[in-house]
Structure 1
Amino acid sequence: MSVQMPSAELVAEGAVQILALVQADPEFDAFRAASLAYSDDWQCFTGFPVIAEWQLKIDATPLFEEGLRALALKAAVHALTGDDQAAEIPIAVPVDEMTHAMLAQAQLLQRITARHGVQIIHQTDQEHTDYTADSYTARCYRAAWGEPPARYWLDHDEVTRRRRHLASLYESIGMGRSGREHSIQFEAVA
């Protein structure tokens, strides 16, 4: 059975409200700090590196905002449909990667969302990273906050192209499958 997706305007209205509730929560600052401190574990080879000239110091804070907006959009779709799969709307790869850092703050995020009756939706095997600038997600985003920042909201085809380029570079230093395996031998420590 296919779910009728709510209008972009309804999703936008809900997402703006959800975002405001989350940001006004007394634990929001701790959530933001914890999400941004997760940087020591941000060694994904195919998520953030697809951003041109990616720099954690410069990009982490604005990408946190984009991740928060993505989660708010997904939560708004879920609130309007009650359907987990419908709420897994297409998200750009770098933004999705940031949501993983945010979701790793499980206790804080759960407490914040529970206080406001918000259901955050994310399941890796259900997620869609085939975002395009003309997608449903993009229409919802535009209705809520204007044009998505192109630096982070990269179209799926461009992400695929950049991943191929990165894979070639990784291969040249002995890292296969975009960092999922390598042929590097480490010297034994005496």
Structure 2
Amino acid sequence: MSTLPSVESVAERAREILTAAETDPEFAAFNSASLQYSEGWTCSSGGPVISEYDQATDAAPLFTEGLRALCLKAAVYEATGNERAAEIPVAVPVDEMTHAMIAQPQILARITARVGAQIIHQTDQEHTDWTQNDYTHRGVPSRMGRPPARYWITHEEVTRRLGILRAKYEAAGFRRMGLAHSITFEPEPVPAQ
């Protein structure tokens, strides 16, 4: 990994990117599309690590945190030219929201082109091992306000909570955090003739 630039300079640039994105003419549409959570767009290990999680009330604040994280990553990439370096640690629930945002590729591409920034995210390179006082934690509050502890949950605490969720999911018949299950749907559908 390349040496990361100073937190202060990256945070300042991230704030500029954030401000430009929020004033973009398509930002409201991007926000709305990103918040269109449904039963077809769920993750059993992201938002559910938040105590008493509810997409109806948690989606909008998570959008704010996800946007901050993406802007900080974009600023690191701009300063380093290194995609791996730009994959700075992000808390699991915030990272999940960035996935919802990146799932709006056309509108996000238009906004970032106008803003002059490049959004960086690649699942096999992401880091969800966020912890307090790390590079990300020092960068977000310095120019964008203190990150709420409800969403910025440390990696150690996420791991603990995932253990609790895993036991509950398995008791209900879901294995591997919902990637497999032992539920049989009866009766089996009859093939069309």
TM-score, shorter chain, exceeding 0.5: yes
Q: Who is 1:11 aligned against?
A: 10
Question: Does structure 1 residue 76 correspond to structure 2 residue 59?
Answer: no
Partner of 1:89: helix, strand, or coil?
coil
Paired amino acid for 2:121:
H
**How far is 1:39 from its partner?**
3.5
Q: Who is 1:138 aligned against?
A: 137
Question: Does structure 1 residue 169 correspond to structure 2 residue 168?
Answer: yes
> Normalization by structure 2: what TM-score?
0.95
Provide the C-alpha distance between the structure 2 equivalents of 1:108 and 1:146, rounded to a whole number of angstroms.
26
Paired amino acid for 1:177:
R
**How far is 1:15 from its partner?**
0.6
> Normalization by structure 1: what TM-score?
0.96
- Output aligned runs, 1:173-184, within 5 Å: 173-184=172-183
**How far is 1:99 from its partner?**
0.3
Q: Who is 2:40 aligned against?
A: 41
Partner of 1:37: helix, strand, or coil?
coil
Partner of 1:54: helix, strand, or coil?
coil
**How far is 1:41 from its partner?**
3.2
Partner of 1:76: helix, strand, or coil?
helix
- Number of residue pairs aligned between Structure 1 and Structure 2: 189
Partner of 1:29: helix, strand, or coil?
helix
Paired amino acid for 1:5:
L
**How far is 1:144 from its partner?**
1.5
Provide the C-alpha distance between the structure 2 equivalents of 1:120 and 1:30, rounded to a whole number of angstroms.
18
**Structure 2: unaligned runs, 5 residues or longer:** none
Q: Who is 1:152 aligned against?
A: 151
Q: Who is 1:21 aligned against?
A: 20
Provide the C-alpha distance between the structure 1 equivalents of 2:104 and 2:23, rounded to a whole number of angstroms.
17
CA RMSD of aligned residues (A): 1.1
**Structure 1: unaligned runs, 5 residues or longer:** none
